[in-house]
Chain A
Amino acid sequence: MTATGPATVPVTAALALGDDALVLSHRLGEWAGHAPVLEEEVALANIALDLLGQARILLSLAGDEDELAYLREERAFRNLQLVEQPNGDFAHTIARQLYFSTYQQLLYAELAGGDGPFAPLAAKAVKEVAYHRDHAEQWTLRLGDGTQTSHERMRSACEALWKFTGEMFQPVEGLDADWTRLEAHWQESVTDVLGRATLPLPEGARTGAWSAGAGRQGLHTEPFGRMLAEMQHLHRSHPGASW
Protein backbone atom coordinates (compact mmCIF):
# COMPACT_ATOMS: atom_id res chain seq x y z
CA MET A 1 0.00 0.00 0.00
CA THR A 2 1.13 3.55 -0.45
CA ALA A 3 0.69 6.15 2.22
CA THR A 4 0.74 9.78 1.39
CA GLY A 5 0.71 12.42 4.07
CA PRO A 6 0.71 16.19 3.91
CA ALA A 7 3.40 17.39 1.51
CA THR A 8 5.51 18.80 4.33
CA VAL A 9 5.82 15.50 6.22
CA PRO A 10 8.37 12.99 4.98
CA VAL A 11 6.36 9.77 5.01
CA THR A 12 9.36 7.45 5.23
CA ALA A 13 10.55 9.15 8.38
CA ALA A 14 7.07 9.28 9.95
CA LEU A 15 6.68 5.55 9.33
CA ALA A 16 10.13 4.73 10.70
CA LEU A 17 9.55 6.61 13.96
CA GLY A 18 5.89 5.60 14.19
CA ASP A 19 6.56 1.92 13.59
CA ASP A 20 9.31 1.88 16.23
CA ALA A 21 6.89 3.26 18.79
CA LEU A 22 3.99 1.05 17.68
CA VAL A 23 5.94 -2.19 17.76
CA LEU A 24 7.74 -1.57 21.04
CA SER A 25 4.45 -0.51 22.63
CA HIS A 26 2.93 -3.78 21.51
CA ARG A 27 5.77 -5.80 23.01
CA LEU A 28 5.47 -3.95 26.33
CA GLY A 29 1.71 -4.55 26.28
CA GLU A 30 2.46 -8.28 26.34
CA TRP A 31 3.81 -7.83 29.87
CA ALA A 32 0.40 -6.89 31.30
CA GLY A 33 -0.39 -9.35 34.08
CA HIS A 34 3.08 -10.90 33.99
CA ALA A 35 5.36 -8.29 35.59
CA PRO A 36 7.66 -9.23 38.50
CA VAL A 37 6.17 -6.65 40.87
CA LEU A 38 2.96 -4.60 40.78
CA GLU A 39 4.78 -1.30 40.41
CA GLU A 40 6.20 -2.66 37.16
CA GLU A 41 2.74 -3.52 35.88
CA VAL A 42 2.06 0.18 36.20
CA ALA A 43 5.41 1.36 34.83
CA LEU A 44 5.56 -0.94 31.78
CA ALA A 45 1.96 -0.16 30.83
CA ASN A 46 2.72 3.51 31.27
CA ILE A 47 5.66 3.37 28.87
CA ALA A 48 3.63 1.29 26.41
CA LEU A 49 0.90 3.92 26.48
CA ASP A 50 3.32 6.78 25.91
CA LEU A 51 4.78 4.95 22.92
CA LEU A 52 1.35 4.12 21.54
CA GLY A 53 0.43 7.80 21.81
CA GLN A 54 3.55 8.74 19.84
CA ALA A 55 2.82 6.05 17.26
CA ARG A 56 -0.71 7.31 16.72
CA ILE A 57 0.48 10.86 16.06
CA LEU A 58 3.29 9.76 13.76
CA LEU A 59 1.21 7.28 11.77
CA SER A 60 -1.54 9.88 11.42
CA LEU A 61 1.02 12.18 9.82
CA ALA A 62 1.66 9.47 7.23
CA GLY A 63 -1.96 8.39 6.63
CA ASP A 64 -4.75 6.61 8.55
CA GLU A 65 -3.36 5.19 11.79
CA ASP A 66 -5.46 2.03 11.78
CA GLU A 67 -4.96 1.29 8.10
CA LEU A 68 -1.23 1.65 8.58
CA ALA A 69 -1.09 -0.43 11.75
CA TYR A 70 -3.49 -3.18 10.80
CA LEU A 71 -3.40 -3.54 7.03
CA ARG A 72 0.25 -3.37 6.12
CA GLU A 73 2.13 -6.62 5.78
CA GLU A 74 5.41 -7.43 7.40
CA ARG A 75 7.58 -6.21 4.51
CA ALA A 76 5.98 -2.75 4.62
CA PHE A 77 6.87 -2.07 8.27
CA ARG A 78 9.83 0.26 8.80
CA ASN A 79 10.64 -0.33 12.48
CA LEU A 80 14.05 -1.28 13.80
CA GLN A 81 14.68 -4.96 14.33
CA LEU A 82 15.60 -4.11 17.93
CA VAL A 83 12.07 -3.13 18.96
CA GLU A 84 10.43 -6.24 17.51
CA GLN A 85 12.61 -8.60 19.56
CA PRO A 86 10.56 -10.80 21.89
CA ASN A 87 10.37 -9.71 25.53
CA GLY A 88 12.44 -12.61 26.86
CA ASP A 89 12.99 -12.29 30.59
CA PHE A 90 12.78 -8.98 32.46
CA ALA A 91 16.48 -8.32 31.79
CA HIS A 92 15.93 -8.64 28.02
CA THR A 93 13.05 -6.23 28.17
CA ILE A 94 15.13 -3.76 30.18
CA ALA A 95 18.18 -4.06 27.90
CA ARG A 96 16.01 -3.46 24.82
CA GLN A 97 14.45 -0.49 26.59
CA LEU A 98 17.80 0.96 27.63
CA TYR A 99 19.23 0.74 24.12
CA PHE A 100 16.13 2.10 22.45
CA SER A 101 15.12 4.84 24.85
CA THR A 102 18.67 6.20 24.96
CA TYR A 103 18.57 6.42 21.17
CA GLN A 104 15.07 7.86 21.13
CA GLN A 105 15.88 10.50 23.73
CA LEU A 106 18.98 11.69 21.84
CA LEU A 107 17.17 11.69 18.51
CA TYR A 108 14.07 13.47 19.80
CA ALA A 109 16.16 16.06 21.62
CA GLU A 110 17.88 16.82 18.34
CA LEU A 111 14.62 16.90 16.36
CA ALA A 112 12.99 19.08 19.02
CA GLY A 113 15.80 21.59 18.68
CA GLY A 114 15.41 21.87 14.91
CA ASP A 115 12.62 23.39 12.84
CA GLY A 116 11.64 20.28 10.89
CA PRO A 117 8.13 18.81 10.73
CA PHE A 118 8.78 16.54 13.72
CA ALA A 119 9.94 19.28 16.08
CA PRO A 120 6.57 19.79 17.88
CA LEU A 121 6.02 16.06 18.40
CA ALA A 122 9.61 15.53 19.50
CA ALA A 123 9.40 18.40 21.99
CA LYS A 124 6.44 16.73 23.72
CA ALA A 125 7.72 13.16 23.43
CA VAL A 126 11.22 13.87 24.67
CA LYS A 127 9.86 14.36 28.21
CA GLU A 128 8.16 10.97 28.14
CA VAL A 129 11.22 9.36 26.66
CA ALA A 130 13.47 10.83 29.36
CA TYR A 131 11.32 8.99 31.89
CA HIS A 132 11.53 5.75 29.88
CA ARG A 133 15.30 6.01 29.79
CA ASP A 134 15.52 6.77 33.48
CA HIS A 135 13.35 3.74 34.25
CA ALA A 136 15.57 1.52 32.09
CA GLU A 137 18.71 2.96 33.65
CA GLN A 138 17.44 2.42 37.21
CA TRP A 139 16.64 -1.20 36.46
CA THR A 140 19.92 -1.76 34.61
CA LEU A 141 21.72 -0.62 37.75
CA ARG A 142 19.61 -2.83 40.00
CA LEU A 143 19.92 -5.93 37.85
CA GLY A 144 23.58 -5.39 36.96
CA ASP A 145 24.62 -4.55 40.50
CA GLY A 146 22.03 -6.67 42.31
CA THR A 147 22.60 -10.40 42.80
CA GLN A 148 24.89 -12.73 40.90
CA THR A 149 21.90 -14.16 39.05
CA SER A 150 20.54 -10.79 38.03
CA HIS A 151 24.01 -9.64 36.97
CA GLU A 152 24.41 -12.67 34.76
CA ARG A 153 20.97 -12.31 33.21
CA MET A 154 21.47 -8.62 32.52
CA ARG A 155 24.90 -9.23 31.01
CA SER A 156 23.54 -11.91 28.75
CA ALA A 157 20.59 -9.73 27.66
CA CYS A 158 22.84 -6.78 26.83
CA GLU A 159 25.03 -9.04 24.74
CA ALA A 160 22.19 -10.76 22.92
CA LEU A 161 20.64 -7.47 21.76
CA TRP A 162 23.92 -5.73 20.96
CA LYS A 163 23.91 -6.80 17.32
CA PHE A 164 20.68 -4.87 16.71
CA THR A 165 21.98 -1.53 17.97
CA GLY A 166 23.94 -0.47 14.89
CA GLU A 167 20.79 -0.15 12.81
CA MET A 168 19.58 2.80 14.87
CA PHE A 169 22.19 5.05 13.33
CA GLN A 170 21.58 4.30 9.69
CA PRO A 171 20.33 7.60 8.21
CA VAL A 172 16.57 7.78 7.64
CA GLU A 173 15.30 9.66 4.63
CA GLY A 174 13.55 12.83 5.73
CA LEU A 175 15.08 12.94 9.20
CA ASP A 176 17.48 15.77 9.63
CA ALA A 177 19.92 14.45 12.23
CA ASP A 178 23.65 14.19 12.71
CA TRP A 179 23.79 10.39 12.87
CA THR A 180 27.49 10.15 13.59
CA ARG A 181 27.20 12.46 16.56
CA LEU A 182 24.06 10.66 17.80
CA GLU A 183 25.87 7.37 17.66
CA ALA A 184 28.84 8.72 19.60
CA HIS A 185 26.55 10.14 22.30
CA TRP A 186 24.62 6.90 22.47
CA GLN A 187 27.81 4.88 22.93
CA GLU A 188 28.97 7.24 25.63
CA SER A 189 25.69 7.11 27.51
CA VAL A 190 25.27 3.33 27.32
CA THR A 191 28.91 2.77 28.29
CA ASP A 192 28.40 4.98 31.33
CA VAL A 193 25.24 3.19 32.52
CA LEU A 194 26.63 -0.30 31.96
CA GLY A 195 29.83 0.73 33.74
CA ARG A 196 27.90 1.93 36.80
CA ALA A 197 25.87 -1.27 36.67
CA THR A 198 29.17 -3.22 36.88
CA LEU A 199 28.37 -4.72 33.48
CA PRO A 200 30.92 -5.13 30.68
CA LEU A 201 30.22 -3.33 27.42
CA PRO A 202 29.36 -6.08 24.91
CA GLU A 203 32.23 -6.75 22.56
CA GLY A 204 30.51 -8.14 19.50
CA ALA A 205 29.70 -6.28 16.29
CA ARG A 206 26.78 -3.83 16.44
CA THR A 207 25.52 -4.85 13.04
CA GLY A 208 25.49 -8.05 11.05
CA ALA A 209 25.10 -8.95 7.39
CA TRP A 210 21.33 -8.91 7.79
CA SER A 211 20.61 -6.45 10.54
CA ALA A 212 22.29 -3.23 9.37
CA GLY A 213 19.45 -0.99 8.29
CA ALA A 214 17.31 -4.00 7.50
CA GLY A 215 14.18 -3.21 9.53
CA ARG A 216 14.05 0.23 7.97
CA GLN A 217 13.92 -1.51 4.58
CA GLY A 218 11.14 -3.87 5.66
CA LEU A 219 13.42 -6.83 6.34
CA HIS A 220 12.50 -8.20 9.74
CA THR A 221 13.28 -11.09 12.05
CA GLU A 222 11.06 -14.16 12.27
CA PRO A 223 9.18 -13.36 15.47
CA PHE A 224 7.84 -10.17 13.90
CA GLY A 225 5.44 -11.87 11.48
CA ARG A 226 3.85 -13.77 14.34
CA MET A 227 3.51 -10.60 16.36
CA LEU A 228 1.72 -8.89 13.46
CA ALA A 229 -0.54 -11.90 12.93
CA GLU A 230 -1.79 -11.54 16.49
CA MET A 231 -2.04 -7.77 16.34
CA GLN A 232 -3.89 -7.60 13.04
CA HIS A 233 -6.09 -10.69 13.17
CA LEU A 234 -9.30 -9.20 14.51
CA HIS A 235 -9.13 -6.01 12.48
CA ARG A 236 -8.52 -7.97 9.28
CA SER A 237 -11.37 -10.38 10.06
CA HIS A 238 -13.91 -7.56 9.79
CA PRO A 239 -13.02 -5.58 6.67
CA GLY A 240 -14.39 -2.05 6.72
CA ALA A 241 -15.84 -2.28 10.24
CA SER A 242 -15.47 0.54 12.76
CA TRP A 243 -14.61 -0.13 16.36
Chain B
Amino acid sequence: MATAAAQRTARTADSAPDTVDTAAYQHAFDAAVAADERIEPRDWMPDAYRATLVRQIAQHAHSEIIGMQPEANWITRAPSLRRKAILMAKVQDEAGHGLYLYSAAETLGTSRDELLDKLHSGRQKYSSIFNYPTLTWADVGAIGWLVDGAAITNQVPLCRCSYGPYARAMVRVCKEESFHQRQGYELLLALSKGTPQQHAMAQDAVDRWWWPSLMMFGPPDDESQHSAQSMEWKIKRHSNDELRQRFVDICVPQAESLGLTLPDPDLRWNEESGHHEFGPIDWTEFWDVLKGNGPCNEQRITQRRRAHTEGAWVREAAAAYAAKHTGGTDGTGEAGHETGAERA
Protein backbone atom coordinates (compact mmCIF):
# COMPACT_ATOMS: atom_id res chain seq x y z
CA MET B 1 0.00 0.00 0.00
CA ALA B 2 1.28 3.41 -0.98
CA THR B 3 0.91 4.98 2.44
CA ALA B 4 2.88 2.20 4.01
CA ALA B 5 5.67 2.61 1.50
CA ALA B 6 5.73 6.36 2.09
CA GLN B 7 5.88 5.81 5.80
CA ARG B 8 8.72 3.32 5.47
CA THR B 9 10.83 5.79 3.53
CA ALA B 10 10.25 8.24 6.34
CA ARG B 11 11.85 5.89 8.88
CA THR B 12 15.08 7.70 9.13
CA ALA B 13 15.22 8.47 12.82
CA ASP B 14 18.92 9.41 12.71
CA SER B 15 19.06 12.01 9.98
CA ALA B 16 17.64 15.37 10.94
CA PRO B 17 15.04 16.23 8.34
CA ASP B 18 15.01 19.69 6.79
CA THR B 19 11.79 21.63 6.38
CA VAL B 20 10.97 20.19 2.98
CA ASP B 21 11.40 16.67 4.29
CA THR B 22 9.28 17.46 7.34
CA ALA B 23 6.31 18.18 5.12
CA ALA B 24 6.81 14.86 3.36
CA TYR B 25 7.15 13.05 6.67
CA GLN B 26 4.06 14.74 8.02
CA HIS B 27 2.20 13.63 4.92
CA ALA B 28 3.39 10.04 5.30
CA PHE B 29 2.48 10.06 8.99
CA ASP B 30 -1.01 11.37 8.30
CA ALA B 31 -1.49 8.76 5.61
CA ALA B 32 -0.34 5.94 7.89
CA VAL B 33 -2.70 7.05 10.64
CA ALA B 34 -5.56 7.40 8.16
CA ALA B 35 -4.88 3.87 6.90
CA ASP B 36 -5.03 2.55 10.49
CA GLU B 37 -1.40 1.54 10.42
CA ARG B 38 0.70 1.44 13.55
CA ILE B 39 3.32 4.07 14.24
CA GLU B 40 6.49 2.48 15.60
CA PRO B 41 9.33 3.96 17.71
CA ARG B 42 11.72 4.58 14.80
CA ASP B 43 9.07 6.22 12.62
CA TRP B 44 8.94 9.95 12.20
CA MET B 45 6.10 11.50 14.19
CA PRO B 46 4.99 15.06 14.92
CA ASP B 47 6.50 16.49 18.10
CA ALA B 48 3.06 17.14 19.51
CA TYR B 49 2.02 13.52 18.89
CA ARG B 50 5.13 12.33 20.71
CA ALA B 51 4.52 14.74 23.61
CA THR B 52 0.86 13.75 23.92
CA LEU B 53 1.77 10.08 24.02
CA VAL B 54 4.52 10.59 26.58
CA ARG B 55 2.09 12.50 28.76
CA GLN B 56 -0.70 9.95 28.40
CA ILE B 57 1.41 6.79 28.78
CA ALA B 58 3.33 8.26 31.72
CA GLN B 59 0.13 9.27 33.45
CA HIS B 60 -1.17 5.78 32.84
CA ALA B 61 1.99 4.21 34.29
CA HIS B 62 1.91 6.55 37.30
CA SER B 63 -1.72 5.58 37.92
CA GLU B 64 -0.76 1.92 38.12
CA ILE B 65 1.94 2.70 40.65
CA ILE B 66 -0.07 5.09 42.83
CA GLY B 67 -3.08 2.79 42.39
CA MET B 68 -1.23 0.10 44.34
CA GLN B 69 -1.59 2.16 47.53
CA PRO B 70 -5.35 2.18 48.18
CA GLU B 71 -5.51 -1.57 47.68
CA ALA B 72 -2.26 -2.44 49.44
CA ASN B 73 -3.86 -0.64 52.38
CA TRP B 74 -5.96 -3.81 52.88
CA ILE B 75 -3.40 -6.57 52.21
CA THR B 76 -2.53 -6.96 55.88
CA ARG B 77 -6.21 -6.99 56.90
CA ALA B 78 -7.76 -9.19 54.20
CA PRO B 79 -10.38 -11.35 55.94
CA SER B 80 -9.49 -14.74 54.44
CA LEU B 81 -6.30 -16.26 53.09
CA ARG B 82 -7.88 -16.75 49.68
CA ARG B 83 -8.82 -13.07 49.44
CA LYS B 84 -5.41 -12.07 50.69
CA ALA B 85 -3.72 -14.10 47.95
CA ILE B 86 -5.98 -12.58 45.27
CA LEU B 87 -5.29 -9.06 46.51
CA MET B 88 -1.53 -9.56 46.69
CA ALA B 89 -1.53 -10.95 43.16
CA LYS B 90 -3.52 -7.96 41.96
CA VAL B 91 -1.22 -5.39 43.52
CA GLN B 92 1.73 -7.25 42.04
CA ASP B 93 0.08 -7.13 38.60
CA GLU B 94 -0.28 -3.38 38.95
CA ALA B 95 3.45 -2.98 39.55
CA GLY B 96 3.94 -5.12 36.44
CA HIS B 97 1.59 -2.90 34.41
CA GLY B 98 3.54 0.13 35.58
CA LEU B 99 6.71 -1.52 34.29
CA TYR B 100 5.26 -2.31 30.82
CA LEU B 101 3.92 1.20 30.51
CA TYR B 102 7.18 2.89 31.52
CA SER B 103 8.87 0.72 28.90
CA ALA B 104 6.32 1.81 26.30
CA ALA B 105 6.94 5.45 27.24
CA GLU B 106 10.71 4.91 26.99
CA THR B 107 10.34 3.99 23.31
CA LEU B 108 9.42 7.65 22.80
CA GLY B 109 12.78 8.86 24.03
CA THR B 110 12.21 9.48 27.71
CA SER B 111 13.33 7.40 30.70
CA ARG B 112 11.63 5.86 33.69
CA ASP B 113 13.78 7.91 36.05
CA GLU B 114 12.79 11.11 34.30
CA LEU B 115 9.10 10.19 34.42
CA LEU B 116 9.23 9.19 38.09
CA ASP B 117 10.92 12.46 38.80
CA LYS B 118 8.03 14.29 37.13
CA LEU B 119 5.53 12.30 39.15
CA HIS B 120 7.33 13.02 42.40
CA SER B 121 7.58 16.73 41.68
CA GLY B 122 3.93 16.95 40.62
CA ARG B 123 4.70 17.89 37.01
CA GLN B 124 2.88 14.77 35.78
CA LYS B 125 -0.42 13.49 37.09
CA TYR B 126 -2.00 10.15 37.86
CA SER B 127 -5.66 9.19 37.80
CA SER B 128 -7.65 11.20 40.38
CA ILE B 129 -9.59 8.14 41.43
CA PHE B 130 -6.65 7.01 43.55
CA ASN B 131 -7.01 10.08 45.72
CA TYR B 132 -10.03 8.51 47.37
CA PRO B 133 -9.50 6.43 50.52
CA THR B 134 -10.23 2.72 51.02
CA LEU B 135 -12.17 2.81 54.27
CA THR B 136 -13.51 -0.74 54.47
CA TRP B 137 -12.77 -4.14 53.00
CA ALA B 138 -15.70 -3.72 50.59
CA ASP B 139 -13.81 -0.84 48.96
CA VAL B 140 -11.41 -3.43 47.56
CA GLY B 141 -14.37 -5.02 45.78
CA ALA B 142 -15.79 -1.69 44.64
CA ILE B 143 -12.42 -0.72 43.18
CA GLY B 144 -12.26 -4.01 41.31
CA TRP B 145 -15.76 -3.79 39.94
CA LEU B 146 -16.14 -0.05 39.28
CA VAL B 147 -12.65 1.42 39.02
CA ASP B 148 -11.16 -1.46 37.05
CA GLY B 149 -14.41 -1.65 35.08
CA ALA B 150 -14.11 2.01 34.10
CA ALA B 151 -10.42 1.56 33.33
CA ILE B 152 -11.19 -1.35 31.00
CA THR B 153 -13.91 0.60 29.21
CA ASN B 154 -11.34 3.34 28.66
CA GLN B 155 -8.48 1.03 27.78
CA VAL B 156 -9.93 -1.59 25.47
CA PRO B 157 -10.10 0.93 22.59
CA LEU B 158 -6.43 1.74 23.33
CA CYS B 159 -5.54 -1.77 22.14
CA ARG B 160 -6.16 -0.24 18.67
CA CYS B 161 -4.31 2.99 19.41
CA SER B 162 -2.14 4.26 16.54
CA TYR B 163 1.10 3.98 18.54
CA GLY B 164 2.25 0.35 18.37
CA PRO B 165 4.09 -0.10 21.69
CA TYR B 166 1.22 1.44 23.65
CA ALA B 167 -1.40 -0.62 21.83
CA ARG B 168 0.53 -3.84 22.49
CA ALA B 169 1.05 -3.02 26.19
CA MET B 170 -2.69 -2.44 26.48
CA VAL B 171 -3.54 -5.88 25.12
CA ARG B 172 -1.78 -7.50 28.04
CA VAL B 173 -2.91 -4.96 30.60
CA CYS B 174 -6.57 -5.32 29.58
CA LYS B 175 -6.49 -9.10 29.91
CA GLU B 176 -5.27 -8.87 33.48
CA GLU B 177 -7.55 -5.96 34.33
CA SER B 178 -10.65 -7.83 33.25
CA PHE B 179 -9.60 -10.68 35.49
CA HIS B 180 -9.27 -8.25 38.40
CA GLN B 181 -12.62 -6.75 37.59
CA ARG B 182 -14.36 -10.13 37.80
CA GLN B 183 -12.64 -10.82 41.11
CA GLY B 184 -13.84 -7.47 42.48
CA TYR B 185 -17.37 -8.22 41.37
CA GLU B 186 -17.20 -11.64 42.98
CA LEU B 187 -15.89 -10.12 46.24
CA LEU B 188 -18.84 -7.70 46.34
CA LEU B 189 -21.26 -10.49 45.52
CA ALA B 190 -20.00 -12.53 48.49
CA LEU B 191 -20.52 -9.50 50.74
CA SER B 192 -23.89 -8.62 49.26
CA LYS B 193 -25.14 -12.16 49.84
CA GLY B 194 -23.47 -12.39 53.24
CA THR B 195 -24.58 -11.11 56.64
CA PRO B 196 -26.60 -7.85 56.89
CA GLN B 197 -23.43 -6.09 58.08
CA GLN B 198 -21.49 -7.34 55.06
CA HIS B 199 -24.28 -6.29 52.72
CA ALA B 200 -24.32 -2.80 54.25
CA MET B 201 -20.54 -2.61 53.88
CA ALA B 202 -20.82 -3.45 50.17
CA GLN B 203 -23.59 -0.89 49.59
CA ASP B 204 -21.66 1.81 51.40
CA ALA B 205 -18.58 1.16 49.27
CA VAL B 206 -20.57 1.32 46.02
CA ASP B 207 -22.22 4.54 47.21
CA ARG B 208 -18.80 6.12 47.72
CA TRP B 209 -17.09 4.83 44.56
CA TRP B 210 -19.84 5.23 41.96
CA TRP B 211 -19.49 8.92 41.15
CA PRO B 212 -15.69 9.04 41.31
CA SER B 213 -15.69 6.09 38.85
CA LEU B 214 -17.85 8.05 36.40
CA MET B 215 -15.38 10.92 36.68
CA MET B 216 -12.60 8.60 35.49
CA PHE B 217 -13.76 9.19 31.90
CA GLY B 218 -12.66 12.79 32.17
CA PRO B 219 -14.49 16.08 31.70
CA PRO B 220 -17.55 16.34 29.46
CA ASP B 221 -16.81 16.41 25.72
CA ASP B 222 -17.31 20.16 25.41
CA GLU B 223 -14.66 20.81 28.08
CA SER B 224 -12.09 18.23 27.03
CA GLN B 225 -9.06 20.06 25.63
CA HIS B 226 -7.07 17.20 24.13
CA SER B 227 -9.90 15.04 22.85
CA ALA B 228 -10.29 16.29 19.28
CA GLN B 229 -6.59 16.09 18.47
CA SER B 230 -6.20 12.69 20.13
CA MET B 231 -9.12 11.32 18.14
CA GLU B 232 -7.66 12.68 14.94
CA TRP B 233 -4.39 10.92 15.73
CA LYS B 234 -6.29 7.75 16.61
CA ILE B 235 -4.77 7.68 20.06
CA LYS B 236 -8.30 7.99 21.29
CA ARG B 237 -11.21 6.25 19.57
CA HIS B 238 -14.28 7.43 21.49
CA SER B 239 -15.25 10.57 23.33
CA ASN B 240 -15.32 10.81 27.13
CA ASP B 241 -19.10 11.03 27.26
CA GLU B 242 -19.52 8.12 24.86
CA LEU B 243 -17.37 5.86 27.03
CA ARG B 244 -19.02 7.07 30.22
CA GLN B 245 -22.44 6.19 28.77
CA ARG B 246 -21.20 2.76 27.74
CA PHE B 247 -19.94 2.17 31.28
CA VAL B 248 -23.23 3.17 32.90
CA ASP B 249 -25.12 0.88 30.53
CA ILE B 250 -22.86 -2.02 31.53
CA CYS B 251 -23.02 -1.33 35.28
CA VAL B 252 -26.77 -0.96 35.79
CA PRO B 253 -27.67 -4.62 35.16
CA GLN B 254 -24.55 -5.75 37.05
CA ALA B 255 -25.62 -3.74 40.11
CA GLU B 256 -29.03 -5.41 39.90
CA SER B 257 -27.56 -8.88 39.89
CA LEU B 258 -25.30 -7.91 42.76
CA GLY B 259 -28.37 -6.89 44.72
CA LEU B 260 -26.94 -3.40 45.25
CA THR B 261 -28.26 0.00 44.24
CA LEU B 262 -26.42 2.83 42.50
CA PRO B 263 -26.54 6.16 44.36
CA ASP B 264 -28.30 8.15 41.64
CA PRO B 265 -31.99 9.09 41.98
CA ASP B 266 -32.06 10.26 38.35
CA LEU B 267 -30.92 6.94 36.93
CA ARG B 268 -33.55 5.59 34.51
CA TRP B 269 -33.82 3.58 31.33
CA ASN B 270 -34.63 5.58 28.23
CA GLU B 271 -36.53 3.37 25.83
CA GLU B 272 -36.06 5.77 22.93
CA SER B 273 -32.28 6.18 23.13
CA GLY B 274 -31.65 2.65 24.34
CA HIS B 275 -29.43 4.02 27.11
CA HIS B 276 -29.61 4.64 30.83
CA GLU B 277 -30.00 8.30 31.68
CA PHE B 278 -28.07 9.40 34.72
CA GLY B 279 -27.85 12.42 37.02
CA PRO B 280 -25.40 15.31 36.87
CA ILE B 281 -21.78 14.75 37.88
CA ASP B 282 -20.27 17.06 40.49
CA TRP B 283 -17.58 18.60 38.31
CA THR B 284 -16.50 20.94 41.09
CA GLU B 285 -15.38 17.91 43.06
CA PHE B 286 -13.63 16.51 39.98
CA TRP B 287 -11.59 19.66 39.36
CA ASP B 288 -10.90 20.03 43.05
CA VAL B 289 -9.43 16.52 43.33
CA LEU B 290 -7.51 17.07 40.11
CA LYS B 291 -6.00 20.24 41.54
CA GLY B 292 -4.67 18.31 44.54
CA ASN B 293 -7.44 18.86 47.07
CA GLY B 294 -8.83 15.33 47.17
CA PRO B 295 -8.93 13.34 50.39
CA CYS B 296 -5.63 11.47 49.77
CA ASN B 297 -3.60 13.49 47.24
CA GLU B 298 -1.03 14.53 49.82
CA GLN B 299 -0.81 11.10 51.43
CA ARG B 300 -0.39 9.24 48.12
CA ILE B 301 2.39 11.39 46.75
CA THR B 302 4.16 11.56 50.10
CA GLN B 303 4.24 7.77 50.36
CA ARG B 304 5.50 7.45 46.78
CA ARG B 305 8.24 10.02 47.35
CA ARG B 306 9.22 8.38 50.60
CA ALA B 307 9.50 4.91 49.04
CA HIS B 308 11.71 6.42 46.35
CA THR B 309 13.86 8.47 48.71
CA GLU B 310 14.24 5.74 51.30
CA GLY B 311 15.12 3.28 48.54
CA ALA B 312 17.84 5.48 47.04
CA TRP B 313 20.65 3.76 48.94
CA VAL B 314 19.45 0.37 47.63
CA ARG B 315 19.47 1.55 44.01
CA GLU B 316 22.88 3.14 44.55
CA ALA B 317 24.18 -0.14 46.00
CA ALA B 318 22.93 -2.10 42.98
CA ALA B 319 24.55 0.38 40.60
CA ALA B 320 27.85 0.34 42.52
CA TYR B 321 27.85 -3.46 42.55
CA ALA B 322 27.14 -3.61 38.84
CA ALA B 323 29.94 -1.16 38.13
CA LYS B 324 32.38 -3.28 40.14
CA HIS B 325 31.35 -6.64 38.76
CA THR B 326 30.26 -6.13 35.19
CA GLY B 327 31.93 -2.89 34.28
CA GLY B 328 28.49 -1.37 33.65
CA THR B 329 26.73 1.24 35.72
CA ASP B 330 23.16 0.42 34.89
CA GLY B 331 22.60 -2.03 37.69
CA THR B 332 19.49 -0.55 39.25
CA GLY B 333 17.13 -3.28 40.31
CA GLU B 334 19.16 -5.91 38.52
CA ALA B 335 18.45 -8.60 41.06
CA GLY B 336 14.75 -7.93 40.73
CA HIS B 337 14.97 -8.07 36.96
CA GLU B 338 16.59 -11.45 36.93
CA THR B 339 14.14 -13.01 39.27
CA GLY B 340 10.85 -11.41 40.14
CA ALA B 341 9.98 -9.67 36.92
CA GLU B 342 10.53 -12.75 34.81
CA ARG B 343 8.33 -14.91 36.94
CA ALA B 344 5.50 -12.41 37.25
Contact = CB atoms under 8 A, between A and B. Distances in A.
Given A33-B68, A33-B69, A65 B320 contact: no
A49 B79 contact: no
B198 A238 contact: yes
Nearest to A47: B340
A146 interface: yes
Interface stretch (B33-41, B92-100, B220-228, B259-267): B92-100
Contact of A234 (B79, B91, B315, B341): B79
Contacts, number: 186
Interface residues of B, number: 63
Contact of B84 (A52, A153, A238): A52
Contacts of A29: 75-76, 84, 88
Given A32-B88, A52-B88, A143-B314, A134 B198 contact: no
Contacts of B312: 36
A49 B89 contact: yes
Interface string A206-243: 00000000000000000000000011011100101111
A238 B84 CA distance: 17
A142 interface: yes
Nearest to B76: A230
Interface stretch (B12-20, B157-165, B303-311): B303-311
A183 to B, nearest CB: 27
A236 to B, nearest CB: 9
Nearest to A233: B77
Nearest to A145: B321
A40 interface: yes
Given A29-B75, A135-B335, 13 more contacts: A36-B314, A39-B99, A53-B85, A90-B311, A131-B343, A145-B321, A146-B319, A147-B320, A149-B313, A150-B313, A233-B77, A241-B198, A243-B79
14 contacts: A30-B75, A34-B310, A36-B315, A37-B318, A41-B68, A46-B343, A46-B344, A49-B88, A52-B84, A56-B82, A66-B80, A69-B81, A142-B317, A241-B194
Interface of B: 65, 68-69, 72, 75-85, 88-89, 91-92, 95-96, 98-99, 102, 137, 187, 190-191, 194-195, 197-198, 303, 306-308, 310-321, 324-325, 331-341, 343-344
The 5 nearest A-B residue pairs measured at CB: A36-B311, A43-B340, A146-B317, A39-B336, A150-B317
